[in-house]
Amino acid sequence: MTQHLTLSLVLFSLPSSNIRGKVGVSSVMHPTALLLLLTAYVAHGSLLQFARMIKCTQPGVNPFVYNNYGCWCGLGGTGNPRDELDGCCEVHDHCYQASRHLPDCRTVIDYPYINLYRFSCANGQVSCSASSHVCQVSVCECDRVATNCFAKSTYNPKNKNLDPKVHCLS
C-alpha cells in the first residue's frame, strides 16, 4: 500500500496550472492519473485476496514472505524454479497467463492482476465462488491452487531476495 500511496502522491502533488487564481495542487485529477490510482488500488485489493487465501491455508504465516522468493515468486519470473515452492509460483504465473487469453477476459489492462473475485475459507480449505464471472473464477482458481501448493511446500530462506541475473538462468 505504501508504494501505491507514494505513486499517487507523486502523480497528484505536481504543481498544476492556475486554479482559482492560485498555483498549487490541482483538486481535479487528470483522467489518466485517476485511472492509474484506481488500478493501483484494485491491484492492492487483489493482492489482499491472495494474502487472505494464504492465511486460510496457512494460519499464522505472513503471506508476504512469498514475495521475491526464488525466481518466480513476485513480479515477473524467469529461469528454472529454485525449489518446489518456487515452482508453485511458476505454475501460478502460467495460470494467470492462461486466464488472460480466455475469450471473455481480454481487456486493455492486465486483468488477472486486478480482477477481484469471491471465495470462502473453511477449515483451511479455499473455495472459489461459482457465481462469479468466468474470469473471476479462473483467477480465483489460480490463486487457490497456488495457496494449496505453498502449504505443501517447504520455505527455504536462502531463496529469498535472489538476484535473478545470477540465480535464475535457464
For residue 45, say whether it is annotated as part of any ligand binding site.
no
Which of 30, 92, 94, 104 is catalytic? The answer is 92
In the set 83, 86, 143, 167, the catalytic residue is 143
- The H or E element containing residue 32 is helix 31-57
Residue 78 to residue 107: CA distance in whole angstroms: 25
Determine if residue 74 is labeled as part of a ligand binding site. Answer: yes
Q: Average pLDDT of 105-116?
A: 64
Does the active-site annotation cover 86? Answer: no
Percent of the chain residues past pLDDT 70, beyond the cut? 68
- Banded model confidence at residue 37, pLDDT cuts 50, 70, 90: very low
Q: Is 30 labeled as catalytic in the residue annotation?
A: no
pLDDT confidence of residue 163: 94
Structure confidence at residue 27 (pLDDT) = 43
CA distance 163 to 111: 28
**pLDDT at residue number 106:** 67
Whether the predicted model's global pTM rises above the 0.85 cut: no
∠68-83-152 over CA atoms, to 5°? 95
pLDDT at 26: 41
Cα gap 109→13, rounded to integer Å: 25
Topology annotation, domain 2-167 = Phospholipase A2 (1.20.90)
